[in-house]
Amino acid sequence: SQTIHQWPATLVQPVGSPLSLECTVEGTSNPNLYWYRQAAGRGLQLLFYSVGIGQISSEVPQNLSASRPQDRQFILSSKKLLLSDSGFYLCAWRVSSYNSPLHFGNGTRLTVT
Amino acid sequence: QKEVEQNSGPLSVPEGAIASLNCTYSDRGSQSFFWYRQYSGKSPELIMFIYSNGDKEDGRFTAQLNKASQYVSLLIRDSQPSDSATYLCAVNKPAGTALIFGKGTTLSVSS
C-alpha cells in the first residue's frame, strides 16, 4: 500500500529564517506531488505541483519554492520566511491519472514569529 | 466568482438526522468531484468521489452530482457526533492537474 510521510509535524521559525519541509511517498512510482497551504480560517491554497522529477509548476507567486530531486520526494523551501507564511502545510500525492483523488500527508504546522 | 463555493456553516444537526452539505463550482468543464473530511488540526481525508451525474452511495454517505446546475452535494445519513468536522469539496479543473478546494463547511452533530 502507498504511504506518504511529511515532516516535521510542527515548526516555529523566526521571520527571515530559511525553511525546508520534506515529503516522501512510498509504494508507488511517478506520482503527481502537491504542496498546499491552509491558513487559519481559510481554505486550502495550492502552492506547487509536480508531474515528474525536476518539473515544478507554481500556482501562487510568493517567497516559497519547491523542488523534486527524486521521483517520490518533494521539498518546499524558503530563503526568508515572512509572518504571512504561517499556516498548515500539506503535502499530497495522486497517481498520474486525471480523475484520481489526492491523498494527504499529516501536515506541518508552521508558526513564523 | 470563486471556483468552488461552500457555505461555511456551522451546520448543526441532531444525532441520527441527515446532514446535507452543498457545493457549487464555476468551471462547466469540470469532470471529477471529491469530498474530504477534516478534523480540527488534522489533514483532510477522502470520503468519496463522483464523476457522473446522479447519486453515488457509500455506507452512510451519498454524493450527488448535477453538472447542468454545476452543483455537487454530500448527504450523511444517521449523523453521529464523530461526523463533526469540516467537509471540503474539491473539483478537478478540466485542463489542470490539481484539485481546487472550497473553504469547507463545518458540521456539528449534537448528541
Q: Which of B97, B100, B103, B105 to mutate to test the interface with A (most CBs of A within 10 A)?
A: B97
What is the arithmetic mean of pLDDT over A33-43?
90
**How high is the pLDDT of residue A34?**
96
**How high is the pLDDT of residue B95?**
66
Record: contact A102-B34, CB cut-off 8 A: yes
Angle at B83 between CA A106 and CA A91, to 5 degrees: 15
**How high is the pLDDT of residue A14?**
98
Band of pLDDT at residue B6, cut at 50, 70 and 90: very high
* Residue from the list A32, A42, A44 with its beta carbon closest to the beta carbon of B97: A32
Band of pLDDT at residue B31, cut at 50, 70 and 90: confident
Cis peptide before A31 (omega within 30 of 0): no
Q: Is B99 in CB contact (< 8 Å) with chain A?
A: yes
Which chain B residues touch A103 with a CB distance below 8 Å? Answer: 46
Which chain A residues touch B97 with a CB distance below 8 Å? Answer: 32, 49, 51, 57, 98
B1 pLDDT higher than 70: no
**How high is the pLDDT of residue A55?**
93
Sign of CA dihedral B98, A31, B42, B78: positive
Which has the closest alpha carbon to A33: A6, A60, A63?
A6
Give the integer Cα–Cα distance in Å for A39 and A23: 19
